[in-house]
Amino acid sequence: MMKRIVLSLLTLSVVAGAIAFSGNRKAANGELQIDIAERNPWTHLRLNDADESFHFVVVSDRTGGHRARVFSQAVEQINLMQPAFVISVGDLIEGYTKDTGRLAEEWKEFQTYAHKLQMPFFYVPGNHDLANANQSDVWKERFGRRYYHFLFKDVLFLGVCSEDPYEGKEYSQLTKEQVEYFQRVLADNKNVRWTIVCLHKPMWTHKNLATNGWLDMEKALEGRPYTVFAGHVHRYQKFVRQGMSYYQLATTGGGSKLRGLRYGEFDHIVWVTMGKQGPVLANVMLDGIYPEDLKRTFTDEEPHPIYNRKPVHAVRGKVTLDGSPIADAYVTCFLIGADGKTLSRVGDAFAEGDGAFAMSTYKAFDGLPTGQYAASVTLRQPFFDLTGKAGPNRLPAKYADPKTSDLRFEVKAGANEVTLNLSQ
C-alpha cells in the first residue's frame, strides 16, 4: 500500500515523521512531495532546513607577508559555497606605513577582491589595518566605524576592534567608549538566540588581561550563549572560557609556515551553520574547494615581498631521553648572540614517533640560518589546555629553558644533522 504525501518544512519541524495527505497537493513553500510505502529507502523525512538556519563564513588573516593567489582565490571558492555573508577577523592589508598613497593602493587591491564576493563582506580591523594615526584616518574615510554590531535571524554579531586605540604596544586595549557601546548593545539584545563575536587579537591570552577591557566584555557576555572568533597568531587553537567556545583561526593567505594540522598552520575558511542549537563549525581547507570542472579561476594577486631574510640550511635531527626517542617532543632553537648570552628564538619542530625532527624558520622544514644555537625541549600533554595554558611538561624541567638546557649545536652551510640527548 502506498500513499502520496506532501511534507512541508513547518510540518516536519513539529512531527517526527511524515504526515500523509490524500491525493496530490501543490507545494506552497518548496515542500517535499514523495510516495511513502510500508518500507522506504531513506532514514527519515525530517529535513535539515529550518527557517531560522543559515550559513556564514569567517575568513582569517591575509597579511604578515601574504602569499600569491590565496585570498583572491578564496573569494572565488566562497562564491562556490554561497553563504549568506562573510565576516573577517582583521589584518586585511599589509599596512604598517604612513604613506597614504601606498595605503590607498593596498586598500584598492583588497577591495577589488572583496567586491567580487556575491554576498556581503563585513570588515573587522587588525593591527596591520590600524597601525598608526594615518591608517586610522584612512580606515575612517573608507569604512567609518571601527566597531559595530548587526542582527540576522535573531543572532547578534559584534565586530570588535582590538586596535582601539593603537598605541604601538604589543598588547591592545579596548577603549572605555567601545566597551560601553557593546555593553549597551548586549543589554538591548538580551534575548537573542546566539551572539557571535569577531575581533582580531585573542585578547584573553594577553598579559594585560586585567586591564585591557576584555574582562569587561566577558562580564557583559556572561549568561548568554556566544562564540568568539579571532586571528592574529596565524595558528589555529580552541579555547573555552565561561563555558563558551573561543577560536583563534589560522590564515586565509597570511604569512605561515604551512606545516599542517599538527602545528595549526594552514589556509582555511570557517563555514558556520547556525541552527537551533547554536553554531556548527567546519574548518574548510582552501586546497579542497574546486568548481565542477576542477579548474580554479586564475587570479593576479601578487605576494608581498619579504626582505632581509637570512639564507637557511637544512637541519634534521633526533631527540632522545636516556637513549630512547621522545615522540611528540617540541624542540625550539635559539640563535646565540655575539655576546654569548643573548638568545633569539628562530625555529621549532615537533618530533615524530622515532624522535626525528626537521626544523623550520620561514617555511615548512626549510632549516635554520648559520650560527651557534641553544635548544629547549618539552613534552607537553596536552600542548595547550582549553584555557590556553601550556600543558604539564613530562621532561626534566631544565630542558624547558634554553639557558639551562645545555643543548648546544652549530648550523653550517649545507645539510646539518643534530642529536639532542636528554637525561633524567
Clarify whether residues 260 and 345 are in a common domain: no
Clarify whether residues 102 and 75 are in a common domain: yes
In a domain? residue 43: yes
d(Cα 351, Cα 357) in Å, to the nearest integer?
5
d(Cα 103, Cα 109) in Å, to the nearest integer?
10
pLDDT, tens digit, 9 for 90 and up, residues 105-135: 999 999 999 999 999 999 999 999 999 999 9
CATH number at residue 339: 2.60.40.180
Rounding to the nearest 10 degrees, give the CA dihedral for residues 224, 230, 236, 240: -20
Clarify whether residues 72 and 195 are in a common domain: yes
In a domain? residue 186: yes
Count of the separate structural domains present in the chain: 3
* 286: CB partners within 8 A, 6+ apart: 70, 73, 74, 77, 252, 267, 268, 269
In a domain? residue 309: no
Q: Give the mean model confidence (pLDDT) for residues 359-385.
A: 97
CATH number at residue 66: 3.60.21.10
Nearest to 173 by CA among 138, 141, 134, 203: 203
Could you tell me the CA-to-CA distances from 210 to 160, 246, 384, 390 in Å, in that order?
Answer: 18, 18, 21, 20
248 SS3 class:
strand
Residue 353 pLDDT > 80: yes
Clarify whether residues 206 and 144 are in a common domain: yes
pLDDT, tens digit, 9 for 90 and up, residues 335-349: 999 999 999 999 999
Clarify whether residues 77 and 190 are in a common domain: yes
Domain range for 268 is 54-288
Domain ends where: 29, 49, 69? 49
224: left (phi over 0), alpha (psi -120 to 50) or beta: beta
pLDDT, tens digit, 9 for 90 and up, residues 273-308: 999 899 999 999 999 999 999 998 889 999 999 989
Clarify whether residues 39 and 60 are in a common domain: no
Clarify whether residues 277 and 360 are in a common domain: no
Clarify whether residues 176 and 162 are in a common domain: yes
Q: What is the largest CA-CA distance in the chain?
A: 90
217 SS3 class:
helix
In a domain? residue 308: no
Clarify whether residues 149 and 228 are in a common domain: yes
In a domain? residue 303: no
Clarify whether residues 45 and 58 are in a common domain: no
In a domain? residue 353: yes
Clarify whether residues 253 and 346 are in a common domain: no
The answer to whether 149 touches 156, Cβ cutoff 8 Å, is: yes
What pLDDT shows up at residue 213?
Answer: 96
* 46: CB partners within 8 A, 6+ apart: 12, 13, 16, 17
d(Cα 377, Cα 404) in Å, to the nearest integer?
11
Clarify whether residues 16 and 160 are in a common domain: no
In a domain? residue 301: no
pLDDT, tens digit, 9 for 90 and up, residues 141-189: 999 999 999 999 999 999 999 998 765 666 788 999 999 999 999 999 9
Place of cell 617540541: 330
49 pLDDT tier (thresholds 50, 70, 90): confident
What pLDDT shows up at residue 31?
Answer: 81
Polymer length of the chain: 424
In a domain? residue 307: no
374 pLDDT tier (thresholds 50, 70, 90): very high
